[in-house]
Amino acid sequence: MRESKIKPVGSATLTYNNKSYELPAFSGTEGPEVLDIRKLYGDADVFTYDPGFTSTASCESDITFIDGDKGILLYRGYSIDQLAEHSNFLEVCYLLLHGELPSKAEMAKFDKAITFHTMVHEQLAQFFRGFRRDAHPMAVMCGVVGALSAFYHDSTDINDRRQREIASHRLIAKMPTLAAMAYKYSMGQPFVYPLNTLGYTENFLRMTFSVPAEEYKVNPVLAKALDTIFILHADHEQNASTSTVRLAGSSGANPFACIAAGIACLWGPAHGGANEAALKMLEEIGTVDRIPEYVKKAKDPDDNFRLSGFGHRVYKNYDPRAKAMQIQCHKVLDEIGHHDDPTLKIAVALEKIALEDDYFVQRKLYPNIDFYSGITLRALGFPTSMFTALFALARTVGWIAQWKEMLEDPHQKIGRPRQIYTGKQQRDYTPLTKR
């Protein structure tokens, strides 16, 4: 079990209805301190109110730290730009799951454990055939990942440490296989089995883009760029989909069902669906001279249009992943000889215009990870509909690490927020004859 590491740093006094309540304050290693309100309802018969949980810490966590004002993102204390430059996705998976960078022997053992689980049960392929060919890959992923719990009964007991570990390895290993199968199914092409002599990301590219009729050679530059993109998407503190996974896991649901819940939440255009929405928006803008029209729409309080790929609940500075994504974007476009990608030109111009516009400056709206990822993923050969499935593939390790941490937290209870009720007070039933 995980030991609590928060340190008492005094308290706050709340005065309510002429009574005073002491709220203990705690600090972690980085970031804002917290006021512990766990006893408030019992003592004062009052709830706190925080729609969207903008000021609420739902848990203690050692995994990821974000400083939204400084634009800092750390995985287990390592900055995202250092990991993007020096590490690889599977090593980052180990780091997120275990808290430390692996030794050579630990990495070899982990690599083997993941590689061993890349195939899926042969009957799972039947599930794809139940979908229309034009089904959105995220609809397919929600379905087939949830279905994994029907095939791997030997790793659904969340109270068994070894079963939790096997389920974690299975999910990290099988997500690329399932995502590639979703793509192949949409293309009407045969599924391609994993080739365990390839690395994690190379294997995924081959399962996605190779066809039985031809030899397929992985482009190492593109594979490295995609591997780095996976690192950028791996975890992000208590975002909406991670909170969904934690909440699902808090009821004791099996890990496959929890990850399927996370995939469903990630699909939303305000969250992981923003990369698909951002590219569609850039393509709809079409030319640089149409940018002011769209910026005007985004600023119009009566228009619910928002610039996809802009703004963030936490980052009130440049999303450090957006910078790293821009670097990968240029590497990929250079490699495929598409330096003058017209959509990139619009993105760069839109970013410049928005960052000089008072509306965005005052609201501290900057490009986020989704702003450049769409251009990059399209250049890698993925259709727009696959973008969020790729986000889910990469975020699975973050969801799993957070799920594992929650289960090992002695303070963990079933998540059950309350509400402020504004409905009708009790009243008697009126028979139909009298209505």
Radius of gyration of the chain (CA): 23
Which CB sits closer to ligand SDX, 76 or 184?
A: 76
- Asked if residue 210 binds ligand SDX (CB under 6 A), the reply is no
- Asked if residue 246 binds ligand SDX (CB under 6 A), the reply is no
Which CB sits closer to ligand SDX, 256 or 315?
A: 315
Q: Which 8-state DSSP code applies to residue 237?
A: S
- Asked if residue 236 binds ligand SDX (CB under 6 A), the reply is yes
* Cα 363 to Cα 361: distance, rounded to the nearest angstrom: 5
* Cα 346 to Cα 356: distance, rounded to the nearest angstrom: 15
| Residue 86 annotated among the catalytic residues of the structure | no
Q: Which of residues 103-162 bind ligand SDX (CB under 6 A)?
A: none
- Closest contact distance (angstroms) between CB of 47 and ligand SDX is 21
Which CB sits closer to ligand SDX, 55 or 123?
A: 55
CB 369 within 8 A of CB 64: no
- Closest contact distance (angstroms) between CB of 80 and ligand SDX is 11
Q: Which 8-state DSSP code applies to residue 424?
A: P
Of 396, 367, 334, 403, the closest CA to residue 89 belongs to 396
* Cα 56 to Cα 431: distance, rounded to the nearest angstrom: 45
* Cα 102 to Cα 91: distance, rounded to the nearest angstrom: 7
Of 189, 183, 187, 198, the closest CA to residue 118 belongs to 198
- Asked if residue 392 binds ligand SDX (CB under 6 A), the reply is no
Which CB sits closer to ligand SDX, 120 or 274?
A: 274
- Asked if residue 178 binds ligand SDX (CB under 6 A), the reply is no
- Asked if residue 228 binds ligand SDX (CB under 6 A), the reply is no
Structure tokens at 363: 């609201």
- Asked if residue 368 binds ligand SDX (CB under 6 A), the reply is yes
Residue 213 has phi, psi (to 5 degrees) of: -80, -15
Q: Which residue is nearest to ligand SDX (CB)?
A: 311
- Asked if residue 307 binds ligand SDX (CB under 6 A), the reply is yes
Among 309, 344, 375, 386, binds ligand SDX (CB under 6 A): 309
| Residue 370 annotated among the catalytic residues of the structure | yes
CB 223 within 8 A of CB 176: no
Residues acting as catalytic residues = 312, 370
Q: Under the rule (CB under 6 A), what is the footprint of ligand SDX?
A: 236, 239, 270-272, 274, 298, 301, 306-314, 363, 365, 368-370
